Amino acid sequence: MKILVTGGAGYIGSHMVLALAAAGHEPVIVDSLIKGHRQAVLAGTLCVGDVGDADFLRSVLAAHPVEAVVHFAGFIESGESMQEPARYLENNTAKSFTLLDVLTEAGAPPPVIFSSTAAVYGDATVSPIPETAQWLPKSPYALSKCLVEQALAGAAAARGMRHAVLRYFNAAGADPHGRLGEDHQPETHLIPIALQAAAGRRAGLTIHGADYPTPDGTCVRDYVHVSDLCAAHLLVLQQLLAGYGAGCDDRVFNVGTGHGWSVKQVIDAVCKVTGVDVPVTLGPRRMGDPAVLVADSTRLREVFGWSPAYSDIETMVAHAWAWEQRRPVLESGSGSGHSSAEG
Ligand SMILES: NC(=O)c1ccc[n+]([C@@H]2O[C@H](COP(=O)([O-])OP(=O)(O)OC[C@H]3O[C@@H](n4cnc5c(N)ncnc54)[C@H](O)[C@@H]3O)[C@@H](O)[C@H]2O)c1
């Protein structure tokens, strides 16, 4: 089946493209390459363009009638969104609305899986966090996701759009076969930064705050292997294609292992896996970082039978390290459809 994957040249999307192809689907990728990498698209048909360009989307859908949509495209940095709120609300929210409008123009819309985030919970007061916890978005990034979740709920009520919202906690790791990995520009995620320091590509890394109310004072996060994330999407997709998502079915699902690792524990895992004593400095807290974010993914497990295959942090780090050691030297030109050696 043809499945539209927006943002399929990015970190999670490119892994999903491979997972879809392995499951016998034909991925049709829409990516502007503003952050993604052409060389990360290892299967399917890449259509370079913007999800906010309605005419472009119509032409893609006319050429490739799709049975479902997995919508990853968006900007991903909470901190950056504090500096550029309008850019985030335009790219993540307004352009998602355009996508939903185009999908519903021609009658019965295909089902949609939307990439949301644990950031919608902000400083949750419960841990692990269930889907029923209140939205407390602390950044325009988190707000941009809440608004799309709301629009999807509206599209379900008004236009019968079946959908699932997956709220990811921290995606981590790399393709276990070493074909793909994480390559954000700039990189702000802990594991790739620590691995780049281990590889000598950075001088070291900073721990942002060691005075949180956690066992070792550093922030605790729930890391979920990117392959397990893709497996969750495949299970949800299969059920959506079979009719799930009508009526009172649950539509919002956390994706995390339910286990938290502190920043210090992750750095220890990096040192152990790489054999390098990564240089670390202690810095002040970053604005808006909650102390603990751990998922209650009971709903995903019970409704779709999902279970992570790689829930151990050292395995995630080992896969990411294998990628870090072999990935191509970066080149510029990821935008405007030119080839890039990134990813
Ligand atoms: N990485 C994580 O830990 C994490 C956690 C929670 C949620 N998410 C969500 O998952 C999704 C994917 O994250 P990622 O880490 O793969 O990010 P990424 O930056 O690697 O990938 C995003 C992709 O979307 C593309 N894109 C952005 N705006 C676009 C637009 N307007 N039109 C077309 N393409 C566009 C980029 O070029 C890029 O290839 C995002 O929506 C993000 O908010 C990620």
- Mean pLDDT, residues 233-253 taken together: 93
Tell how far the Cα of 74 is from the centroid of ligand 1, in angstroms.
Answer: 4
Radius of gyration in angstroms for the set of CA atoms belonging to the chain, rounded to a whole number:
19
pLDDT tens-digit readout, 101-123: 999 997 889 999 999 999 999 98
Tell how far the Cα of 141 is from the centroid of ligand 1, in angstroms.
Answer: 12
**pLDDT interval class at 329 (50, 70, 90):** low
Residue from 16, 17, 28, 34 to probe ligand 1 pocket by mutation (most atoms less than 8 Å from CB): 34
Q: How far apart are the first and last CA of the chain?
A: 26
Residue from 4, 6, 12, 327 to probe ligand 1 pocket by mutation (most atoms less than 8 Å from CB): 12
Tell how far the Cα of 13 is from the centroid of ligand 1, in angstroms.
Answer: 7
pLDDT on residue 328: 67
Nearest Cα residue to atom 27 of ligand 1: 74
Binding pocket residue ranges, ligand 1, CB within 6 Å: 6-7, 9-13, 30-36, 50-52, 72-74, 76, 91, 95, 115, 117, 168, 170-171, 184
Q: 22 in helix, strand or coil?
A: helix
Residue whose C-alpha is closest to residue 169's, from 311, 264, 37: 311
- The catalytic residue among 121, 141, 168, 310 is 141
The domain spans of the chain are 2-326
pLDDT above 90 covers a percentage of the chain that reads: 87
pLDDT on residue 331: 41
- Mean pLDDT, residues 309-326 taken together: 96
Asked if residue 279 has pLDDT above 60, the reply is: yes
pLDDT on residue 338: 23
Asked if residue 25 has pLDDT above 60, the reply is: yes
Nearest Cα residue to atom 7 of ligand 1: 117
pLDDT above 70 covers a percentage of the chain that reads: 95
For domain 2-326, give the CATH number.
3.40.50.720
The residue among 185 and 260 whose pLDDT is bigger is 260
For the chain, give the mean pLDDT. Answer: 93
pLDDT tens-digit readout, 280-296: 999 999 877 889 999 99
pLDDT on residue 293: 95
pLDDT tens-digit readout, 73-102: 999 999 899 999 999 999 999 999 999 999
Tell how far the Cα of 82 is from the centroid of ligand 1, in angstroms.
Answer: 17
Q: Which two tokens stand for residue 320?
A: 């990411």
**Burial 4-30, CB ≥16 within 10 A → b, else e:** bbbbbbbbbbbbbbbbbeeeebebbbb
Residue from 18, 53, 72, 78 to probe ligand 1 pocket by mutation (most atoms less than 8 Å from CB): 72
Beta carbons of 220 and 260 less than 8 angstroms apart:
yes
The residue among 44 and 249 whose pLDDT is bigger is 44
Asked if residue 26 has pLDDT above 60, the reply is: yes
**Residue 153: its H or E element:** helix 140-159
Tell how far the Cα of 332 is from the centroid of ligand 1, in angstroms.
Answer: 19
Tell how far the Cα of 172 is from the centroid of ligand 1, in angstroms.
Answer: 14
Asked if residue 266 has pLDDT above 60, the reply is: yes
Asked if residue 340 has pLDDT above 50, the reply is: no
Distance of CA 301 to the CA centre of its chain: 19
pLDDT tens-digit readout, 137-184: 999 999 999 999 999 999 999 999 999 999 999 999 999 999 999 999
Please count the other Cβ atoms lying within 10 Å of the Cβ belonging to residue 65. 11
pLDDT on residue 92: 98
- Mean pLDDT, residues 314-327 taken together: 95
Asked if residue 313 has pLDDT above 50, the reply is: yes
Please indicate whether residue 141 is annotated as part of the active site: yes
Nearest Cα residue to atom 13 of ligand 1: 12
Q: Which two tokens stand for residue 107?
A: 């009658």
Half-sphere exposure (Cβ direction) of 3: Cα atoms closer than 13 Å: 32
